[in-house]
């Protein structure tokens, strides 16, 4: 393991002031209760060496990072058929994007890592698997995180359900456009549930590490998903994972990543590391205000960009 504890602690110290450049998400009351100064990171290499720094024990909801799990599950189960329903292009539109920004003229959502696209991906699973779908998604999340103890934060879940009008609008609109046939409420149930799992940065690092190892658990050799799915996931994370600053993040960091409004970022350094970061203060694009510069410094110092 080349990234030393000392160096990581030092970096985290230097970057922590960036938390002040952001703001907590406010659309759910619970997200707004986080400590905005929080900054934590966990890095695990292929051999299982782990370094953590800062507030690495803090729990937070996985939010949009769960879109990666849903995508992996759907790619494994349904393959390229997924792309009959969902595109894979990035939009240059803003974080506050609504229907107009999240679908093309034909109503097909732009990509699986934005809300509209993740709802459509979830609809695929719910249509085929019904109520089992959500169980299967939960099981995959726990397996990838190597953490059977992961729990749903019920307060967040209820809050999402109660206040999720924009997601509900996205779902009804797509249903009206015949993008999917499943019950809107069942799809939203599964979608909101996956967003509400509570994790630590270590869980994100474990998930990322298996993607970095092309779907195979480096310890046990167990194949959790195919290398083709891993490759597709890394690609889509690169082009679409960081909202409408995906292009800028590719330029400054160059590590396939996915962020969530809970402040987490899951980052995959192919063949090398799985990384989880947490910094709930968000920039205006909806990405962690301190997490992004922390990853940028790591990428620069250890030459981690896939574009190097």
Which stretches of the chain bind a second copy, using CB under 8 A? 87-92, 98-101, 104, 110-111, 163-166, 168-173, 175-177, 184, 227, 231-232, 234-236, 238-240, 244-248, 250-251, 254, 256, 270, 305-308
Spacing of C-alpha 182 from chain mean position? 24
Catalytic residue among 187, 199, 261, 292: 261
CB 84 to a second copy: min, Å = 13
Closer residue to a second copy (CB): 92 or 220:
92
Contact partners, residue 274, CB within 8 Å, separation at least 6:
43, 44, 204, 205, 206, 207, 208, 209, 210, 211, 212, 267, 268
CB 88 to a second copy: min, Å = 4
Closer residue to a second copy (CB): 142 or 172:
172
Closer residue to a second copy (CB): 110 or 144:
110
Say how many C-beta atoms besides its own lie within 10 A of residue 164's C-beta. 19
Distance CA 305, CA 27 (A): 33
56 is catalytic: no
Distance CA 199, CA 65 (A): 11
Closer residue to a second copy (CB): 138 or 299:
299
Closer residue to a second copy (CB): 56 or 180:
180
Catalytic residue among 97, 156, 159, 191: 191
53 is catalytic: no
27 is catalytic: no
Catalytic residue among 66, 67, 108, 199: 67
Closer residue to a second copy (CB): 147 or 239:
239
Q: Report the candidate in 36, 59, 92, 69 with the shortest Cα–Cα distance to residue 288.
A: 36
* DSSP secondary structure letters along 250-303: HHHT-S-EEE-TTSEEEEEETTTEEEEEE---B-TTSSBTTHHHHHHHHHHHHT
CB 6 to a second copy: min, Å = 27
Residue 19 CA: distances (Å) to CA of 9, 16, 247, 287, 298? 16, 6, 22, 11, 17
∠ CA 24-167-98, rounded to 5°: 80
Catalytic residue among 51, 52, 56, 64: 64
∠ CA 264-265-267, rounded to 5°: 155
Catalytic residue among 73, 197, 243, 273: 243
Contact partners, residue 266, CB within 8 Å, separation at least 6:
65, 68, 204, 207, 208, 257, 258, 275, 276
Q: Which residues are catalytic?
A: 64, 67, 191, 243, 261
């Amino acid at each position: 393991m080349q990234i030393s504890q000392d160096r990581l602690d030092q970096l985290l110290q230097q970057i922590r002031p960036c938390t002040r450049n952001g703001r907590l998400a406010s659309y759910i009351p619970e997200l707004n209760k986080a400590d905005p100064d929080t900054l934590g990171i966990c890095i695990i290499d292929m051999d299982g060496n782990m370094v953590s720094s800062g507030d690495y024990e803090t729990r937070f909801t996985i939010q949009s990072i769960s879109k990666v799990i849903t995508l992996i599950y759907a790619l494994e189960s349904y393959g390229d058929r997924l792309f009959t329903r969902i595109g894979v292009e990035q939009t240059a539109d803003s974080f506050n994007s609504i229907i107009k920004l999240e679908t093309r003229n034909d109503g097909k959502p732009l990509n699986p890592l934005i809300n509209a696209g993740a709802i459509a991906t979830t609809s695929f699973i719910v249509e085929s698997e019904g109520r089992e779908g959500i169980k299967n998604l939960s099981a995959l999340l726990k397996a990838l995180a190597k953490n059977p103890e992961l729990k749903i934060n019920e307060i967040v879940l209820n809050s999402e359900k109660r206040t999720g009008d924009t997601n509900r609008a996205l779902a009804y609109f797509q249903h009206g456009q015949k993008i999917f046939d499943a019950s809107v409420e069942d799809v939203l149930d599964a979608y909101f549930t996956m967003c509400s799992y509570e994790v630590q940065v270590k869980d994100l690092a474990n998930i990322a590490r298996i993607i970095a190892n092309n779907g195979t658990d480096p310890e046990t050799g167990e194949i959790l998903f195919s290398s083709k799915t891993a490759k597709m996931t890394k690609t889509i994370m690169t082009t679409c994972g960081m909202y409408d600053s995906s292009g800028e993040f590719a330029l400054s960091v160059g590590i396939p990543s996915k962020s969530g409004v809970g402040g987490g970022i899951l980052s995959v350094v192919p063949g090398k590391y799985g990384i989880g970061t947490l910094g709930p203060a968000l920039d205006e694009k909806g990405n962690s205000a301190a997490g992004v510069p922390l990853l940028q410094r790591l990428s620069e110092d250890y030459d981690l960009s896939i574009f190097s």
